[in-house]
Amino acid sequence: MKVLLMVLMVMRDLVKTDLINSTVFRKVVPLMPSHISQCLLEKRSINLNPIRTCGVLCSLKTNCLLFCLKGGTCSLYSAQVSSKWPGFSLAPNERIESYDECYSNWFVNSITPSLAAENISSSSSFLTSARPENIINGFHCRSYYYFCFSTSGGDSDRFWRADLGKPKRVSSIIISTRASYEQFSKVEITLGNSNDYDNIRFDYYEGPSPVGTDISFTPTNPVTGRYLQVQSFKNNYLSMCDIVILG
């Protein structure tokens, strides 16, 4: 009863503020890999104001990052889907899960949704199904591999780079690691205005190498710069599934 009352109170407030058009949720292409079922939190039947009601339920649900609607069914997921998600095309042993509409939950002051694939300048190498642009336009659900980024291995200099388009103030960066492999340690992030990416250190993460975890990089003071680099100094792969750049 208490939860229902909270939902009704929030819905009352949403009459004046449109949840779906706010910076909290962004509409994404509603074509997902069937693997998304591994990140399902809850399903509910909804008849009244389905988009708004489903959005409220996701806001109240712990770890809910995505909600999708199909007919009168609201599905809540912990999967993180970027605002640049192009929609799913078939991968090996996978089928498409389609919905009427899907909305992804993002940080209010994130710079990441403004990035496009062309902002990803380069990486030292990449696996065919783990391209560098995946971490801004991809899909991240637990151990699923196809929409993360990974170097191909054996690189002497493992890095991922992004051009933010113009100098931007960055206060923190959050990187989601792969859930299936320990491939993230001794990682340095640099940010500045030198287009050869030889810029000052933003922050550094020594380790250990976690799986399926969000790692925060936060300098003592915010840094302003255009050219961002994530580099690993460990003789191993560099793998990342998502990056959130906070202004």
Question: What Å distances lie between residue 174 and 29, 110, 177, CA to CA?
Answer: 23, 10, 10
Which of 105, 122, 141 lies at the terminal end of a domain, its last residue? 105
- pLDDT at position 47 is 86
- 83 shares a domain with 131: no
Answer with the residue of higher pLDDT: 184 or 18.
184
- pLDDT at position 232 is 87
Question: What Å distances lie between residue 7 and 58, 59, 103, 153, 164, CA to CA?
Answer: 11, 10, 18, 49, 38
Answer with the residue of higher pLDDT: 136 or 233.
233
- 145 shares a domain with 80: no
Tens digits of per-residue pLDDT, 78-102? 887 877 778 877 655 668 899 999 9
Taking 90 as the threshold, does the pLDDT of residue 5 lie above it?
no
Both tokens of 6, joined, read 């909270």
Taking 80 as the threshold, does the pLDDT of residue 45 lie above it?
yes
pLDDT band at 15 (very low <50, low <70, confident <90, very high): very low
- Distance, in Å, from the CA atom of 9 to the CA atom of 101, rounded to the nearest integer, reads 24
- 33 shares a domain with 134: no
- 183 shares a domain with 80: no
Answer with the residue of higher pLDDT: 117 or 63.
63
Mean pLDDT of all residues in 216-220: 93
- Exposed / middle / buried, residue 97 (Cβ in 10 Å: 0-12, 13-18, 19+): middle
- 137 shares a domain with 68: no
- pLDDT at position 190 is 95
Largest CA distance in the chain: 58
* Helix (H/G/I), strand (E/B), else coil: 229: strand
- Distance, in Å, from the CA atom of 206 to the CA atom of 191, rounded to the nearest integer, reads 18
Taking 70 as the threshold, does the pLDDT of residue 214 lie above it?
yes
- Count of domains forming the chain: 2
C-beta of residue 136 within 8 angstroms of C-beta of residue 84: yes
- Distance, in Å, from the CA atom of 175 to the CA atom of 243, rounded to the nearest integer, reads 5
Q: Where are the beta strands (DSSP E) in 11-56?
A: 25-28, 31-33, 40-45
Taking 50 as the threshold, does the pLDDT of residue 8 lie above it?
no
Lowest mean pLDDT among 46-50, 109-113, 160-164: 109-113
- pLDDT at position 119 is 64
Q: Domain containing 68: what range?
A: 2-105
